[in-house]
Each structure stands twice: as structure tokens, then as C-alpha cells.
Structure 1
Amino acid sequence: MTPTARLLIAGMSGWLSGARAADNAANPADAIARQNMLQLIHLRWIAVVGQVVTILAVHFSLGFALPLAAMMLVLAALVVLNLASLLRLKSAQPLGPYDLFSALALDALALTAQLYFSGGATNPFTTLYLLHVILGVVLLEVWATWAIVFLTSFCFLMLVAFNRPVIASGLSDQAFFGLFIMGMMMGVVLDAVLLVTFVSRINTNLRRHDAHLAELRQRAAEETHIVRMGLLASGAAHELGTPLATLDVILGDWRRMPVFMADPELAQELEDMRGEVQRCKQIVTGVLLSAGEARGDEVRVSGLRAFMDEVVAEWRATRNSDVLVYETDLVTPFSIVAESTLKQVIHNVLDNALDASPEAVRLHVGVSGGLIVIEVDDDGPGFAPDTLENFGRPYNSTKGRAGGGLGLFLVVNVLRKLGGEVRAENRPEGGASVVLILPLASLQIRRHHAR
């Protein structure tokens, strides 16, 4: 068999089995409904194959005269129903409350037709009605479950009222009764096996759905907690901003007073005080950054190269300056509106890289296709798979300390607010790479309007 034929067969098999049925789900509830519909589709394929084998064996081996054309027509209808169900799963429209009910109801009607053509109420496989009822209890709402109970009961009564016996040539009453008992046993065993198999799968889907909902609730609670912290920090920072600004103005006026100008010692102490006030203002700015805001007096127009040089110089001033290797291919004097939020974001990523790789951190800045690309590499152990999968989510950290992961969470959210994105990956040669991507024009327009 050629590779093309194998791929074609594999693709057709995957389509007929409904593989990846939940890919088009609109929400978690729709995903679980699609998985349950997929179980019904699998069960229907088994029913079609099993009925073909049983009908042919009973007709040709046991001598029962069955209307093969009519029964095969019912099986063809089941195949068409399965193909329609698969097409329904490929659609992006969410499954409604009547989809599963309709599927089970049509299966019950198809079973009734097959039983009618093969002995009616005397057919030992009438026990398969219980399979539909139990699946209805597991899958459907209360009203739909009772509707399935009513439908199966009505169908069985119709089989009794319009009984159509089958003719078995050459079988004694005792042999017929033995075949009936064997058929009942096979029906009960088949019910049990199918129920254990498919109800277990359905319960697995439900447990997976519940676990997913619990995870979403936990994340929502964590993010709500962060929002509350941000609101509290933002309020406190705004309150502190005014007195700090007042102190800065007063100290600036004192610098020009003769008493301070005449005394070098007092002048130096005054400069130290102004430096501490500026430090407090930077701390307030950092608090506002954590809350997702920026101080208006921290925004200014600058060249991109000059801004990045300033970011690197400030970071090196308080860290090991020999660790960072800074490269840039910026030639054109791109103008941006620089602000403390962007500076703090870059510092945060550099700090994380330094924690992972104290010996070497590399920073490269460039512009490509109207995008500012800022790449930070390190030679550390790299990101764990779980960290990469949940990159940017709160408390997603391998540092093992309380509150870990909030830095990258804030980086991702600040970049998103600026119209950019953050990408993280492990480098093939070892270490990790974090890339900040910002649209140059969008950043300029957005920040000018914000002013």
C-alpha cells in the first residue's frame, strides 16, 4: 500500500470515527456534549456491524426467513444517520438540548424496525431497549429521559400489538426455545458490556469536564485576587503621588535658597533627600505598573535607540553590568513615546533571565516589518513544559516562592494592552528565549492619545 493510500485511509478512518470532535466546541459544556455525541456515534457503528453479522448468520445458518432487503435498508438509514451526526460535529454551531435526545430516539426507532422484521416482541434482543433508557438517564435532562422511557415503552407495545413472527424451517420447539434462551443471554451480556464500556467513557468525559471547570474557577479566583490587589495598590499609589510631588517641588525650591547654597554639607543632604523622594516616586510608578496603569509624568517622546540605551544603563546600574550582552541593529532614528511601563517590563524580563542564568544574559533589539522586536536569551535550564503551556498566567513559576509568576503575568498583560505579544520558548542549544513584540506605529498613536 502506498503512503498516499495509507494517509487517505487514516484520514477517512479519523473522519468516520469523529476524531477531534471537540475541536469546534464553543464552550466547555458544548465540548462535553460533542464527546457524548461521539460515544453514540461509536455505539451506532458497533450496532451496524453487529446487526449485519447477526442478520446474515440467523438467516443463512439457522434457517430463519428474514426480510433481508428491509432490514438492510434500516441499517443503511443508520449509516446515513451516523454520517449526518459526524457532519453535525464538524459544524461550529453548538449542540442544542435536542441533539442527543434526537439521536437516542432515532436509534430506538431503528431498533424497533429491526425487531419488527425479526420476531417482534418475541425477539430476545428486546432487552436492548434498556440500553437506550440507561444512556438517556446518563446523557439527557429529566424531561428527555422520561420521553425516551415513554418512546421505548410505546415501541414495545406496538411490537406486541403488531407482532410479525418469523418462520424457522426444520427447527423443533425445543430447539427454538434453546435458541431463544441463548439469544436472551447474548442480549443481556451485550447490554452489560456496552453499558460498562460507554457509560464509563461518558463518566470520564464528565469528570474531565468537572476538572476543567474547577481549574477555570481557580484561575478566576486568582485573577480576581490580583485585580483587587491592583485596585488597592493603585489607590494607595495615587494618594502618595500628590505629597511626593509636593515634596519634590519644595526641595527644588530649597536648593536655590542662600542658606543651602552657602553650606555644602546642607546642600549635599538636600540632594540626598531629593534622591530619596525620586526613589519613592519610582516605587509608586512600579506599583501603578503592577495595577496596569502608568503615571502621566513618566511618559515622554524619545528615540527608540536612546530609550533602549537608557533601559540597559539603568538595569546595569543596579545589577552585575558584566552579565548583560546588549546588541541592536537600530540605524533609523525611530521615535517612540517612552514610558516607565515599557521600561519596567523589559527590566522584569531581564531580571527573570538573570535569576535563571547568573553568568550570561543577552538582549537584542531590532525593528522588522513595523514591529519592535526585543529578544532576551539566557543559558539557564529553560522553561518547564507546564510553565510554557501556561506562560503568562498568575502563579505559574518554577522558583518555588510565594507569589512567583506574577512578574511574567504582568509582562504579558502590559504588552497586550500596548497591542503587542510575548513569546517564550526553550532554545535548542540550551537556555530560554523570551521575545517581546510591539507594533511601532500602534504604540506611538496609542500613547499620544493617552496623553
Structure 2
Amino acid sequence: METMSSAHSTSSASAPGPLFSAIRRNSDDITGRKNLQLLIQLRWIAMFGQLATILVVNYGFGIRLPVAQMLVVLFGLLLLNAVSLLRLKLPKSIGNTELFLSLLIDVATLTMLLALSGGATNPFVFLYLLQVILGAVLLEVWSTWVILVTTTLCFGWLAWYGHPLPMPLDHSKGLFSLYIEGMLICFVLNGVLLVIFINRITRNRRQRDEHLAELRQRAAEEEHIVRMGLLASGAAHELGTPLATLSVILGDWKHMEPFKSDGDMAQEIAEMQTQVLRCKSIVSGILLSAGEARGESSEETTVREFLDELVEEWRDTRPVKDFIYLNDFGTDLSIVSDSALKQSIHNVLDNALEASPNWVRLDVHREEETLLVSVTDRGPGFPAEMLDNLGRPYQSSKGRPGSGLGLFLVMNVLRTLGGNLRARNLVQGGALVTLSLPLSVVTLEEE
């Protein structure tokens, strides 16, 4: 077990391989698309806000502005947003470079509008800070420094070449000063936009990190399963020879006179042969699940036939006292049998039988295109911490070394097939475990 544990720890640490790197790139692309959408939304807000400001200042306050030229700049922003929306529909990933160029264009547009409306004396010149902060949150470090240097140079150029607006120097009026009012509006606008969009960007990153953590865990678990499959397959091959030898010896004993004439001994030999055959069947099942002799496992059957045979086999080989089986699937459906699914249901039934030796129940239902298999027992139920980590390896209340792998394997089999596993404790006592599986993955396609 120490070897297996160390192998598991090593695999967990080294799980992020090429596959995980590809998944991470895909996750980064999703985050990049969300961030580009945020920039597009911010640009819409800026366009309508700047248009309203131009109209109010020019026609409300009587401060003459080159309205036509400024509207041309706003029309350029409109075209940029249209191109950005089309870019979102392309499958190519969105990375740091595209976000960086988008912010640079926003800085250039803001600089042109400020140059046409007072230069560095325009109170809205502090919108440069919004661009720098967005760059710090969205971009790589070098890109952020480029944005900072660019905005600083633009500010200096506006201060050197800009023409101040014909506004009265009335700073002493406080809030009644047009310039102070403009600065207040700029401050509130910066604050509101930063709170809204920084929270969104942070939420996008948090969702990406949670998704990556889940994928990393799944990658580690899947590698753990591969290692277990290799160990199981090797063990099954090694067990094949001694089991075959035992079967031959028991067959010889059955026909030997000292055992043949003793009825009790002959009965025990027959029971031993039955158990050896069961062991050989289990070994064959392990090899089958490991991918060997796969052609033998693809058999045409129906949902009812598959489950009826599964239940009959399980009931005949387990010491269950009171077993209830209700199949309410409805109209039968042709499927391809799957040994891994069969073993998964057996595992859940075995767990229920161990928790509740006197009573187990199996219900089969259908919800639209989903097969639901529910197993109920009257045992002590699941500990709360196990329900919170359902399907994690070595989560068990049995207290035995190596226990807790049953539901872990079932969860991964179902997840591979596109299904799910849920468990809950019942108010009256006991537990309910439900396996859900899309019928589309096992349905037999009609030619």
C-alpha cells in the first residue's frame, strides 16, 4: 500500500501534463473571451457617456466644441466594437495580445477626444487611470507597463500641444465651478466603472481558477485509475494460472474414490469449484474492464434484460436476505451492454449490502432520455464529510486500509459515460444512491 500511495502522490503532483496544459489553454481562452466582452461593454458605456457629455457641454453650457470631428472619433469606436463582436464569433483563442491592442486603441481614442476638447485641462483626462488599472488587471506585466508609459506620454503630449477650453477660472466657487463639477463627474465615473468591472474580472478569474482546480483533480484521479487498472490487469493475469490449476485439481478430486464416496466432501468440492469459477469470472471481468477482450463485451441487449440479468447474477452470488427490485423503466430500449456499467451497479449494491445486510432495494426509472438506477439501504447512512467529498478516493466510513475506492471508481465510470452519481441520507434512516446515465451513450443505433 505504501508503494501505491507514493505512486498516487507522484501522479497527483505530475498530473498536469500535455492534456492538462491543453485544458488550461482552453480555460484561459474562455476567460479571455469574457474579458473582451467586458471591454466591449465598457466601450459602449464610454461611447454613450462621451456623446452625452459632448452634447451637454456644447449646447447646454455653450462651450464650443468641434462636434463633427468628435463624432467621427466616436464612430471609429463604434466600428471597433463591431469588429470586436465579430472577433468573438471566431474559434481562435483570445489572448493577451488582442486585449492589449484593444486597450491601446481605447487610449488612442481617448487621447483624440481630449485633444479636441481642452487637452490636459479637460477634467476627464483622469480617465487614463481607468485604462491603466484595467491593464494591470487584464494584461501581462510587460503589457501593463506599456499601457502606463503610453498614457503618460499621451498626457504629456496633451499638456504640451493641447488648447485649453474657453472656460472661466472659477475654481474658488467649489462645487459651483464647471471644472470642479467635471472632475467630480470623472471621479464618480471612474469609481463606478472600476467597482463594476474589476468585480466582474475578478469573478471571471475566480471561476477559471476553480475550473482549473477541478480539472487538475480530475486529471489526477484519472491517472490514478489508469495505474489501478494496470495493477488490476497484471494481478488478473497472474491469478489466471493458479485458478486454472485449482480448477483442474478440484475436477480430479471430484472423481477420486475417497472424495466421491463421501457425500459431504463431494458437496464441499462442488462448492469450492463454484467459488473458483466465480473467481475466474471476476478475473475475466477485470481484464474486460481493463480493455482486453473488448469485443466480447459488446453484446446487443435491452435495458430491462440487461438490468434483470445483472440483478439475478448479483442476487445469486450475495447473501442478501430481503432484496426488492422494481423496474419502472417503461418502454424497453435496445442497448449495447457495458461491463463497466454493470460492475458499477454491482459496486453500489455491494456497498448497500455491507451497510444493510438484511434489506436492500433497487429501483429503475426513466426521466426523458436519462436512465436512473437508485439503490436504497437501511444502514447508518453516509457521514457528512463523505457526502461533501463524494467520489473522492479513500473516502470511507469502513476504517479499512484501501477502502473507499468503490464509489470513486463508480463516479469516474459514470463521468466517462456522461452520467453522474448522487447520494443522500434518508430521514427515516439509511441512504439513497442514484446513478444517472444518458441513454444516448448505450443506445443501439438502428441501421
For residues 335 and 62 of structure 2, the distance between their equivalents in structure 1, rounded to whole angstroms, comes to 91
Q: How does 1:98-247 map to 2 (within 5 A)?
A: 98-168=97-167, 171=168, 178-247=177-246
Q: 1:179 to 1:53 in 2, by over 3 A?
A: same
Contact 1:423 1:436 in 2 (8 A): no
For residues 332 and 29 of structure 2, the distance between their equivalents in structure 1, rounded to whole angstroms, comes to 52
Q: 1:330 to 1:347 in 2, by over 3 A?
A: farther
- The equivalent of 2:407 in structure 1 is 405
- The equivalent of 2:290 in structure 1 is 292
RMSD of the alignment, in Å?
4.8
Q: 1:295 to 1:342 in 2, by over 3 A?
A: farther
Question: Deviation per CA, 1:382-417, whole angstroms, max 9, x where unpaired?
Answer: xxxxx9xx99x656999999446335335437x84x
Contact 1:108 1:129 in 2 (8 A): yes
Local SS of the residue matching 1:65: coil
TM score, norm. by length of structure 2: 0.70
Contact 1:234 1:287 in 2 (8 A): yes
Q: Which has the larger displacement, 206-215 or 191-200?
A: 191-200
For residues 180 and 60 of structure 1, the distance between their equivalents in structure 2, rounded to whole angstroms, comes to 17
Q: How does 1:330-409 map to 2 (within 5 A)?
A: 343-345=342-344, 347-348=346-347, 361-362=362-363, 376=373, 402-403=404-405, 405-406=407-408, 408-409=410-411
Local SS of the residue matching 1:121: helix
Contact 1:353 1:376 in 2 (8 A): no
Q: Give 1:131's aligned amino acid.
A: L
Q: Which has the larger displacement, 237-246 or 263-272?
A: 263-272
For residues 433 and 221 of structure 1, the distance between their equivalents in structure 2, rounded to whole angstroms, comes to 23
Q: Which has the larger displacement, 305-314 or 247-256?
A: 305-314
Q: 1:102 to 1:250 in 2, by over 3 A?
A: same
Question: Deviation per CA, 1:290-310, whole angstroms, max 9, x where unpaired?
Answer: x63467998798987987664
Structure 1: gaps (5+ residues): 1-24, 366-370, 382-386, 444-451
TM-superposed CA distance for 1:433, in Å, is 7.3
Q: How does 1:410-421 map to 2 (within 5 A)?
A: 411-412=413-414, 416=417
- The equivalent of 1:10 in structure 2 is none
For residues 220 and 205 of structure 1, the distance between their equivalents in structure 2, rounded to whole angstroms, comes to 22
Q: Give 2:325's aligned amino acid.
A: L
TM score, norm. by length of structure 1: 0.69
Q: Which has the larger displacement, 180-189 or 57-66?
A: 180-189
Local SS of the residue matching 2:96: coil
Contact 2:127 2:186 in 1 (8 A): yes
- The equivalent of 2:44 in structure 1 is 45
TM-superposed CA distance for 1:239, in Å, is 1.2
Question: Deviation per CA, 1:306-330, whole angstroms, max 9, x where unpaired?
Answer: 8766434323323357612458999
TM-superposed CA distance for 1:283, in Å, is 4.1
Contact 2:325 2:361 in 1 (8 A): yes
Q: 1:331 to 1:156 in 2, by over 3 A?
A: closer
TM-superposed CA distance for 1:106, in Å, is 0.9
TM-superposed CA distance for 1:137, in Å, is 1.6
Q: 1:217 to 1:106 in 2, by over 3 A?
A: same
TM-superposed CA distance for 1:64, in Å, is 0.9
TM-superposed CA distance for 1:379, in Å, is 8.3
For residues 327 and 48 of structure 1, the distance between their equivalents in structure 2, rounded to whole angstroms, comes to 60
- The equivalent of 2:66 in structure 1 is 67
For residues 365 and 181 of structure 2, the distance between their equivalents in structure 1, rounded to whole angstroms, comes to 77
- The equivalent of 1:255 in structure 2 is 254
Q: Give 1:324's aligned amino acid.
A: Y
Q: Which has the larger displacement, 276-285 or 297-306?
A: 297-306
For residues 176 and 341 of structure 1, the distance between their equivalents in structure 2, rounded to whole angstroms, comes to 80
Question: Deviation per CA, 1:73-116, whole angstroms, max 9, x where unpaired?
Answer: 22222222223222222333211332111111111111111111
For residues 259 and 197 of structure 2, the distance between their equivalents in structure 1, rounded to whole angstroms, comes to 87
For residues 285 and 190 of structure 2, the distance between their equivalents in structure 1, rounded to whole angstroms, comes to 65
Q: 1:442 to 1:411 in 2, by over 3 A?
A: farther
Higher RCO, 1 or 2 (CA under 8 Å, sep at least 6)? 2
Q: 1:324 to 1:98 in 2, by over 3 A?
A: same
For residues 114 and 193 of structure 2, the distance between their equivalents in structure 1, rounded to whole angstroms, comes to 19
Q: Give 1:409's aligned amino acid.
A: M
- The equivalent of 2:325 in structure 1 is 324
For residues 396 and 90 of structure 1, the distance between their equivalents in structure 2, rounded to whole angstroms, comes to 44
Contact 2:117 2:165 in 1 (8 A): yes
Question: Deviation per CA, 1:346-405, whole angstroms, max 9, x where unpaired?
Answer: 54566689899x67544589xxxxx9x977467899xxxxx9xx99x6569999994463
TM-superposed CA distance for 1:31, in Å, is 1.6
Query: In the alignment, is residue 55 of structure 1 matched against residue 54 of structure 2?
Result: yes
Local SS of the residue matching 1:275: helix
Contact 2:414 2:437 in 1 (8 A): no
Contact 1:349 1:376 in 2 (8 A): no
For residues 297 and 42 of structure 1, the distance between their equivalents in structure 2, rounded to whole angstroms, comes to 55
State how many pairs are aligned.
Answer: 397
Contact 2:349 2:375 in 1 (8 A): no
